[in-house]
Amino acid sequence: MILVTGGAGFIGGNFVLDWLALCDEPVVNLDLLTYAGNLETLGSLANHPGHHFVQGDIGDAALVARLLAEHQPRAVINFAAESHVDRSITGPEAFIQTNVVGTFRLLESVRAYWSGLPAASQAAFRFLHVSTDEVYGSLEKTAPAFTENHRYEPNSPYSASKAASDHLVRAYHHTYGLPVLTTNCSNNYGPYHFPEKLIPLCIHNALAGKPLPIYGDGQQIRDWLYVKDHCSAIRRVLEAGRLGEVYNVGGWNEKANLDVVKTLCAILDEEQPRPDGQSYAEQISFVTDRLGHDRRYAIDASKLERELGWKPAETFETGIRKTVRWYLANQDWVAHITSGSYRDWTAQQYGDTLNA
């Protein structure tokens, strides 16, 4: 049995789906179901005997203690987090509560559970914390990619809150001996991605005939990682990672945001052409840049390949086409998740024209 937190979100949901497709070890899935959590993502598991979903908060110590005592998991994989930079700028407190306070309370609950296990179970137990490359700050255009030894220099409330959570996880290993692992990933994309992030937002808006908002000049560079590759990396780190270690997970795909959107438009032009015969690229619209927008992230994932033999299966070209085709085939999922408060938020962030 494993316990997954945040398992109804984008990355966590994909992880749970892949885990249960690949093995028969049961999953207890704890998710608060905030705006980005969606049980429809887990619809195919509705009658799966190995999936036990619990709606709740990682900061609810009594609930977490009960789940740990009842299910006796051999590992906890912590995906639960507020994760969108824009939202952290307009409402940072939620990020501190979930990413810092929530992680602290989860660690306390797990430490108490782990401390009471028999020696053999203690030795086998793992706490895997899923984090982000944004904790490292921003890179100059020609600077080497982030390694696990790069200094933390977070620049947004989101990345600062994740940096704090990473430090807590490290401290619980060094102070208490809790057997932890940490992964820091680059920008994920793929199925079931909440459409506030660049790729799903632009697919959604393109099909709706709305502007495709690009911050600033669109030359912000990110490394792009297909979510299924990220899930396979987490499984590998859980299986064989060295205790207390950090592993960077990247796709070796540095792309400027504008180039990403142009690629999306070209694929959509092939897969579902506009009725007027024009390219979706005609809908690209430049908007005021994000406050404190980091210019470049890049992940050096060579440690993960060298120590554990992992490397991504997808190139950006193969992964992005799979992603576009998934969204085209799953418009009902998109329609359900983009109603209500999502429309209010996009209007606030990018202007009312996006919701016209």
Per-residue confidence (pLDDT) for residue 353, from 0 to 100: 40
Mean pLDDT of the chain: 93
pLDDT at residue 123, as a whole number: 98
Active site amino acids = 133-134, 158
- Whether residue 163 lies inside any domain: the answer is yes
Does any domain span residue 261? Answer: no
229-253 pLDDT, tens digit each: 999 999 999 999 999 999 999 999 9
Q: C-alpha 145: how far from its chain's center?
A: 20
Query: What's the pLDDT tens digit per position in 140-179?
Result: 999 999 999 999 999 999 999 999 999 999 999 999 999 9
Distance CA 52, CA 165 (A): 26
CA 323 distance to own-chain centroid:
15
The confidence score (pLDDT) of residue 354 equals 40
pLDDT value of residue 351: 52
Across 83-87, 130-134, 259-263, least confident range: 83-87
Q: If pLDDT is split at 50, 70 and 90, which confidence band does 37 have? A: confident
The reply to whether 80 falls in a domain is yes
Cβ proximity of 300 and 136 under 8 Å: no
The share of the chain scoring above pLDDT 70, in percent, equals: 95
Question: Looking at the predicted structure, is the pLDDT value of residue 347 above 60?
Answer: no
Query: What is the tens place of the pLDDT at every residue in 194-212?
Result: 887 899 999 999 999 999 9
- For the segment 42-62, the average pLDDT, to the nearest whole number, is 96
Considering the domain boundaries, does residue 208 fall inside one? no
pTM here is 0.92
Number of Cβ within 10 Å of residue 262's Cβ equals 19
Going by pLDDT thresholds of 50, 70 and 90, the confidence category of residue 85 is confident
Structural domain count, the chain: 1
Q: Which domain holds residue 233?
A: 2-192+221-252+298-316
| CATH classification of the domain holding 45 | 3.40.50.720
Check if the beta carbon of residue 227 is closer than 8 Å to that of residue 11. yes
Query: Is residue 308 in some structural domain?
Result: yes
How much is the average pLDDT of 94-98? 93
Decide if pLDDT at 83 tops 90. no
Q: E strand or H helix at 156, and its extent? A: none
274 is a domain residue: no
pLDDT at residue 356 in the model: 35
Report pLDDT for 339.
67
Q: Is residue 121 part of a domain?
A: yes
65 within a domain of the structure (yes/no)? yes
Q: Please give the average per-residue pLDDT across 344-349, as a whole number.
A: 46
What pLDDT is recorded for position 349? 44
Q: Where does the pLDDT of residue 87 fall: very low under 50, low under 70, confident under 90, or very high at 90 and above? A: confident
Q: Give the tokens for residue 184.
A: 């820091």
Helix, strand, or coil (residue 59):
coil
pLDDT at 227: 98
Is residue 345 within 8 A of residue 201, CB to CB? The reply is: no
For 266-288, the pLDDT digits (tens) are 999 999 999 999 999 999 999 99
